[in-house]
Amino acid sequence: MTSFYISVAAGFGAVVRLAIMDLARTSNVLKRIAFPLSTFFINIVGTLLIAIAVRHLGTSNTEQIIAAGFLGGFTTFSTLTNEMIQLWRGHRYWTCVIYVVITYASSSAAIYCGYIYL
């Protein structure tokens, strides 16, 4: 039964991610920035929340539903990869490299902060 709840939670996480990304697409400010901020924000916040959930909830069913389910559906490695490819194909090499480095460095910092401080 836990698998069912994880699946439902993942669906909710994906819907929340889509809503945030749609909101970002309609933002006049974000349209002018040549950097995929919505995916960056989603992945960093999601990573931080996963670390907090794992630290505080251990290996309980609740942790699995929240971390693997909702936050697994919320975060998006596939969109990150797609955006990296689009940047590279658009000959925006430095933006692509900066995006990758900043995303992985920030994710690592978020995991550390989530486990140690929060």
CB contact at 8 A, 14 and 74:
yes
Element (H, E) at 71: none
- Is 72 assigned to a binding site? yes
- To the question of whether residue 75 is assigned a binding role by annotation, the answer is yes
Q: How far apart are CA 15 and CA 28, in angstroms?
A: 22
Q: What ranges make up the beta strands (E) of the chain?
A: none
Structure tokens at 40: 């960056």
Sequence ranges of the binding site for Na(+): 72, 75
Residue stretches of the annotated binding site: 72, 75
